[in-house]
Amino acid sequence: MSNTVTPWEVKGKIDYDKLIEQFGTQKIDEPLIKEISDLTGGKLHTMLRRGIFFSHRDLNLILKDYSDGKNFFLYTGRAPSLGMHIGHLIPFVFTKWLQDVFKVNVYIEVTDDEKFMRNPDYSLDQTMQWSIENILDIIAVGFDPDRTFIFQDTEYIKNMYPVSIKIAKKLNFSEVRATFGFDNSSNIGIIFYPALQIAPTMFEKRRCLIPAGIDQDPYWRLQRDIAESLGYYKAAQIHSKFLPPLTGPEGKMSSSSPESAIYLSDDPKTVRKKIMKYAFSGGQATAELQRKLGADLSVDVPYQWLYYFFEEDDEKIKKIGEEYSTGRILTGEIKEYLADKLNKFLEEHRSRREEAKELIKEFKYEGKLAKEMWSKTIV
């Protein structure tokens, strides 16, 4: 089956094993998971245990640097839009967990420039305003204000411009064009942009670990080609699968089809309605058939959302899987259960988002790491 996975487009049913081969990454296997568990005193995040983070590069080297006391840092990012959906939270929730267990610095790039240059319809005012709104959602995930720096490219550019032009000088157009599919109609801003997404991998002279969706991988392949020639480490990655859209297991959630996603701002009634009406079911067409044949969990979106994100209890998810796949429970019940879980999650998220309004200055300018970053130029 044909599929496309690039930073700007995800289409079709994704074969993740094939992506590992195609992108030349490594599968996260049991021994590696055990190593993480040993280093974190037995703690493992659901997203790691259940394999939504499924692939990596150099994670073993990151763990080695951590054990040797050299340490490492985390970097991830977001191209701001009007509203974030549940899928966008995956890298942030997982990055926060890594920060908690390893006590490391986190850099979060908010690319108001990328979003502006990529979309003919968006004004710069809009993407800068969305940055603030999205940053509140990111802070609400619970990062440590002293160890986290959240920056917008249009603001922090002066400090990161020197390293960015060093990176840009190493990348030639034919390579970048082949990686991202640019053509003669691409504006020259977006052609330079990859240098700006690579720059934060060089914010420290330690190894950088990037938790992100696999769609962002092309940037890191370029980074790895040039980093050492600039005196930095090749960046390490830990890649996630996509949380499937509500409407079916193909592609990724999209802002242009609101029924495909649950937004962080959706109220409880909307959440329930979207799930009941649109969530793609692996259950059978009638209750009778469902009782007889059971559901196909591999395509059932409500089950997958519970499995990958919202049901952290291993015993419970196992029981749900068994009962649903053997027809003892019906699609409607799974959907109800997910709607309740999601609404509880969103209620808590929104209350932390309110508190984030008081914290935004710390993360952007005044926290310990933010202050340090504003006082230096990255070269």
Binding site for ligand TYM (CB under 6 A): 7, 75-79, 87-88, 90-91, 109, 111, 114, 197, 210, 212-213, 215-216, 240, 242-243, 252-253
| Cβ-based nearer residue to ligand TYM, 78 or 96 | 78
Shorter beta-carbon distance to ligand TYM: residue 6 or 60: 6
Instruction: Say if CB 255 and CB 82 are below 8 A apart.
Output: yes
The Cα–Cα gap between 303 and 279 comes to 10
Instruction: Provide the minimum distance between the beta carbon of 64 and ligand TYM in the complex, in angstroms, as a whole number.
Output: 23
Paired tokens of 145: 């204000």
CB of 212 to ligand TYM, least distance (A): 3
Q: How far is the CB of 42 from ligand TYM (least distance, A)?
A: 26
Is the distance from CB of 99 to CB of 92 less than 8 angstroms?
no
Torsion angle of C-alpha atoms 80, 19, 249, 240, degrees rounded to 10: -50
Please compute, for residue 114, the number of CA atoms within 13 A of its CA located in the half-sphere on the CB side.
Answer: 19
User: Smallest distance, Å, CB 351 to ligand TYM?
Assistant: 23
Instruction: Please work out, in degrees rounded to the nearest 5, the angle formed at the alpha carbon of residue 67 by the alpha carbons of 62 and 71.
Output: 55
Report the alpha-carbon distance of residue 189 to residue 178 in Å, rounded: 17
Give min distance, CB of 183 to ligand TYM, in A: 19
Q: Given the complex with ligand TYM, which of 171 and 329 has the nearer CB atom?
A: 171
Q: How many CB atoms lie within 10 A of CB 268?
A: 14
To ligand TYM, the closest distance from the beta carbon of 217 in angstroms equals 9
116 versus 294: smaller Cβ distance to ligand TYM: 116
| Smallest distance, ligand TYM to C-beta of residue 264, A | 13
Taking every pair of C-alpha atoms in the chain, what is the biggest distance, in angstroms? 67
Distance separating alpha carbons of residues 141 and 152, to the nearest angstrom? 18
Closest CA to 307 of 332, 285, 334: 334
- What distances in angstroms separate CA 174 from CA 169, 177, 223, 377, one per listed residue? 13, 5, 15, 29
Pull the structure tokens for residue 59. Answer: 């994670």
Nearest to residue 63, comparing CAs of 41, 43, 35, 93?
35
Nearest distance from residue 213's CB to ligand TYM, in Å? 2
Which tokens go with 128? 């800068």
| Closer by beta carbon to ligand TYM, 209 or else 334 | 209
Least distance to ligand TYM, CB of residue 237, Å? 9
Return the axis-axis angle of helices 331-356 and 268-278, rounded to nearest 10°. Answer: 150
Residue 240 beta carbon to ligand TYM: minimum distance, rounded to whole angstroms: 5
Q: Nearer to ligand TYM by C-beta: 127 or 343?
A: 127
Strands 148-152 and 106-110, by their bridges, are parallel
Look-up: residue for tokens 């157009």? 173
Query: Residue 294 has which token pair?
Result: 């059971």
Under 8 Å between Cβ of 271 and 277: no
Q: Which is nearer to ligand TYM, 102 or 107 (CB)?
A: 107
Nearer to ligand TYM, 136 or 330 (CB): 136
Q: Which CB atom, from 242 or from 324, has the smaller least distance to ligand TYM?
A: 242
Nearer to ligand TYM (CB atom), residue 286 or residue 298 = 298
- Of all residues in this chain, which one has the CB nearest to ligand TYM in the complex? 213
